[in-house]
Amino acid sequence: MNRINDIFNIIQSANRTVALTGAGVSTLSGLPDFRSKKGLWKQYDQNRVFSLDYFKTDPEYFFNFARQYIFPFLDAEPSIIHHLLAQLEQKKMLRRVITQNIDMLHTKAGNKGVLELHGSPERNFCVTCGKEFSFGQIIAKIESEKFPLCDSCGGVLKPDIIFFGEMLHADVLDTAFHEARQADCCLVMGTSLVVSPAASIPEIAAHYGAKVIIVNREATPLDRLADIVIHTELDTFGSTLMQLLNTR
């Protein structure tokens, strides 16, 4: 409790807090993660699911996966951490959310201008003509098609999720790095910090003088540079910090 008090005081006194979130935030909403011992890669071949080259030859494989693990995002509800970050932003105590997640739950909770490093299924486009489609339009198409096709040219539709073999969107990454350089507090939650370039965000923030706080169930390679590290369940942490936020 004392360390959570310390975290609250750091956030309260900071001028530019940024948050970096990973899969641990979304598993609280009932969504599976990718890299845990029981993660999705134990059930699906990651070299095929998010391979751009494989998608071009067999899009049906990806959309079989998507039916089980991406389309349910539409019905998922934000977790305590999503609500916490939305409330921090509403109270002008949080500058920006940067996330590795593709589930759109930060936006659903109320955060504005979320930086989605790995893209979002909310945006979809035809790989042939570039026509754009919404997440809802894709779901409607999947009900009658093995994989969604463009109604203009017949090309395959691909969600704007970063596949292996694709570069991250430069504008999103540049903005995330800028926010890290400008931050005086970097709150990291629910990520193992083993995937680049997301893992470099707290390093950049620390280099430029920010206080770094890491909250994760397990140790991370960057615990050494953090000012405060808490290994705990995120729902417990989130509930306690939310109570402090609502009583101060």
| Residue range 139-159, pLDDT digits in tens | 999 888 899 999 999 999 999
pLDDT for residue 133: 97
Tokens 């919404």 appear where?
134
The 3-class secondary structure across 51-81, one letter per residue, is EHHHHHHCHHHHHHHHHHHCHHHHHCCCCHH
pLDDT band at 127 (very low <50, low <70, confident <90, very high): very high
The two three-digit tokens of residue 222, written as one number: 């960057």
Are 164 and 51 within 8 A, CB to CB? yes
Q: Which amino acids are annotated catalytic? A: 118
C-alpha neighbours within 13 Å on the C-beta side of residue 187: 28
Just give the CATH number of 1-31+78-118+168-248. Answer: 3.40.50.1220
Just give the CATH number of 32-75+119-161. Answer: 3.30.1600.10
| Residue range 93-113, pLDDT digits in tens | 999 999 999 999 999 999 999
pLDDT band at 71 (very low <50, low <70, confident <90, very high): confident
C-alpha neighbours within 13 Å on the C-beta side of residue 144: 4
Mean pLDDT of the chain: 93
| Residue range 191-229, pLDDT digits in tens | 999 988 999 999 999 999 999 999 999 999 999 999 999
Lowest mean pLDDT among 73-77, 112-116, 158-162: 73-77
Where are the domains positioned within the chain?
1-31+78-118+168-248, 32-75+119-161
Closest by CA position to 148, among listed 122, 126, 120, 166: 126
